Structure 1
Amino acid sequence: MKWTRDFGLTMRMLLTSFLLLIVYLIFLGVLAALGFPFEFLLLVAAGMAFLQYFFSDKLVLWSTGTRIVGEDEYPELHRMIERLAAAAGVPKPQVGITPSPVPNAFATGRSPSHAVVAVTDSIMRALKPEELEAVLAHEMSHVKNRDMLTMTMASFISMLAFLIMRNWLFIGLFNNRDNNNMGALILIYVVSIIVWLVSTLLTRALSRYREFAADRGSAVLTGNPGALISALTKISGRMDYIPAEKKQEVEGANAFFIIPALSGNTLMELFSTHPPLEKRVAALEELQAQQRGY
């Protein structure tokens, strides 16, 4: 098996970005038509895009409590990541550790030269070395595929619409105490719901495909699809025994995790960021059969 460029992933990233741009412009247009200064909206959007591009990785690290660790602290982890980076033909990412009982791993960053691969301390205790290497290879595939930035930027319009939805009543009471513009506010709320649904579905569709692509990348980099099958099964099985409040602490990073940490208390379960485990295992078993020449 050798690494081949996934044109399906590339085309999906381009299509998702294009469709989200259209949705974004329509959203801004509706807000401008309802009296919001269009120039101000564009300025805010550009500022947020700038912050996301340059600081999105730091936001993910901060929200998960991840810290960057040196080679002297986790030498074997660094050596694994260094080997996989060389195999993938990308610069060695920074290495992060997340203190959490939720066994998981993720990659973030705007480019292969500004990437971080992180694991929770619990996953290092839960997996065998070959299983951990397969998980790290999955994350390295995200770095190689450059899909981390696309996901981060694509989530911007969804988050903006969600914030308007969540704060709609407060905004209405603060700016329209006489209720003269309540009709416009209701329209904004309805448009925000539609935009949030469309953008969320688009990003979730991309997220599911990119997980399949990263699983395949792991199989190529390690030559051992069975190790990733074993790791995914172990991680998924342990999720059932993690307290809901612990999963909720890191739930905001589910789109980046190798296995989502669902607490059962949010809407995230209605819009799963990952394909079902059974389908991922089936795809990896097919790769394993190809590798053995069946």
Structure 2
Amino acid sequence: MRILLFLLTNAAVLLLISIVFHVLGLGDFLHQRGVPLSLDQLLISSAVIGMSGSFISLMMSKWMAKQSMGVHVIEQPGNATEQWLVDTIARQARRLNIGMPEVGVFDSPDPNAFATGMSRNASLVAVSTGLLQRMNADEVEAVLGHEMSHVANGDMVTMGLLQGVVNTFVYFFASIAGYLVDRVLLRSGDDERGYGYGPGYYITQMVAQVLLSILATMIVMWFSRRREFRADAGGAELAGRGKMIDALRALQRAHEPADLPGELAAFGINGGISSGFQRLFLSHPPLEERIAALQNGR
């Protein structure tokens, strides 16, 4: 249902943009300047290109996480720690009324954890060996609650679809920029009808995609930071506010280890240190802000 609603919203936005462009006469403006470009077709193709990559990544997320992080999935608990992990996550899954996730452990000295998966009923929650070694049971329980809140909130799907939406508009506007530079400024074309693409199109589109992707990343990371506050609140509800605060303080004592690789960074418990302009690209808010939010009841 979440995917369907998001796709319908995206389709509505695309339709609205198409109507606005027609009202403003942008299509006629382009054609008068020798740019044989159908904005409707470009919108549709951009959506296919932008969303398909996100859907593929979402479908492969668990497999990619297991391979890239070397996650050992606990099929049958081999010791007391693994049994406690499975039991704790099972208890939290029942409270949240979601399917039991796969539970795994990956080898890393940094205390961290992440959740991923195609849906809230087919997810993976994994913790690092460093987390188990450097935190007590109450703190680990809070971390698990944080990750399970990500699962219950559908954050993996939401973030994947959001990335697909911004990818759609990055490609769409980068293509328009390429057409304008190639046909209006450089007046190039490969054939007598002017339907070919000159080098100006490809160069401009690539440059525009890079610049627009930077802006898109800031938007996605802003949304990711907001989701972290919500997941902290969820972890506090599942394990207790004091335990969640203690867990975040334990991460502070660990000197805020680096982000997890790639898309997993948005679903970990921790994030790297950054300030100034770099702050716009953080997937997680600073730990002191997260602790303050919990202390203030947010």
TM-score (ref. length: structure 1): 0.69
Q: Deviations over 1:211-233 (max 9, x none)?
A: 011111111112x2121111112
Match of 1:171 in 2: none
Question: By how many angstroms is 1:99 displaced?
Answer: 1.0
Map of 1:227-238 to 2, 5 A cutoff? Answer: 227-238=243-254
Report the Cα distance in structure 2 between the residues aligned to 1:248 and 1:221, rounded to whole angstroms: 24
Question: Once the 2 structures are TM-superposed, how far is the Cα of residue 72 of structure 1 from its aligned partner?
Answer: 1.8
Counterpart mapping for 1:1-294 below 5 A:
18=10, 33=37, 45=50, 47-73=52-78, 74-156=82-164, 181-222=198-239, 224-239=240-255, 247=258, 250=261, 253-261=264-272, 270-287=280-297
* Cα pair 2:116 2:264 within 8 Å, conserved: no
Report the CA distance shift for 1:282/1:78 in structure 2 as closer, same or farther (over 3 A).
Answer: same
What 5-or-longer segments of structure 1 have no aligned partner? 1-9, 166-179, 289-294
Q: CA deviation at 1:286?
A: 2.1
Q: How far does residue 189 in structure 1 lie from its aligned partner after superposition?
A: 2.6
Q: What is the aligned partner in structure 1 of residue 183 from structure 2?
A: none
Rg larger in 1 or in 2?
Answer: 2
Aligned length: 246
Q: Deviations over 1:177-231 (max 9, x none)?
A: xxx9332233203321343133212211211111011111111112x21211111
CA distance in 2, matches of 1:148, 1:252: 10
Higher RCO by CA contacts (8 Å cutoff, separation 6 or greater): 1
**What is the SS of the residue equivalent to 1:254?**
helix
Contact 1:108 1:256 in 2 (8 A): yes
- Corresponding residue for 2:182? none
Separation of aligned partners in 2, 1:221 and 1:249: 24
CA contact (8 A) 1:105 1:119 kept: yes
Are the aligned partners of 2:77 and 2:83 in contact in 1 as well (CA < 8 Å)?
yes
Which residue identity lines up with residue 201 of structure 1 in the other structure? Answer: M
The CA RMSD over aligned residues, in Å, is 3.8
SS of the equivalent of 1:75 reads: helix
Runs of 4+ in 1 over 4 A off after TM superposition: 37-47, 156-162, 267-270
Deviation at 1:268, TM superposition (A): 6.8
Confirm or deny: 8 A CA contact 1:204 1:271 kept in the other structure: yes
Distance 1:40 1:215, change over 3 A: closer
The alignment-based identity, stated in percent, is: 30
Q: What do the CA deviations read for 1:116-154 (whole angstroms, capped 9, x no partner)? A: 111011101111101100000011111111111111233
Supply the distance in 1 between the matched residues of 2:132 and 2:222 (Cα, whole angstroms).
30
The 10-residue stretch of structure 1 (267-276 or 190-199) with the greater mean CA deviation from structure 2: 267-276
C-alpha distance in 1, partners of 2:127/2:120?
A: 18
Distance 1:211 1:41, change over 3 A: closer
Give the CA deviation at 1:50: 4.1
Q: Which whole-Å CA distance do the structure 2 matches of 1:195 and 1:187 have between them?
A: 12
For residues 98 and 215 of structure 1, the distance between their equivalents in structure 2, rounded to whole angstroms, comes to: 22
Which residue is 2:177 aligned to? none
Which residue number corresponds to residue 168 of structure 1?
A: none
Give unmatched runs, 5+ long, in structure 2: 19-26, 31-35, 175-196
68 and 217 in structure 1: CA distance in 2 versus 1, 3 angstrom threshold: same
Q: Which position in structure 1 is the counterpart of 2:21?
A: none
C-alpha contact (below 8 Å) 2:86/2:103 kept by paired residues: yes
Change (3 A) 1:65 1:281: same
* 1:69–1:231 distance in 2 versus 1, CA, 3 Å: same
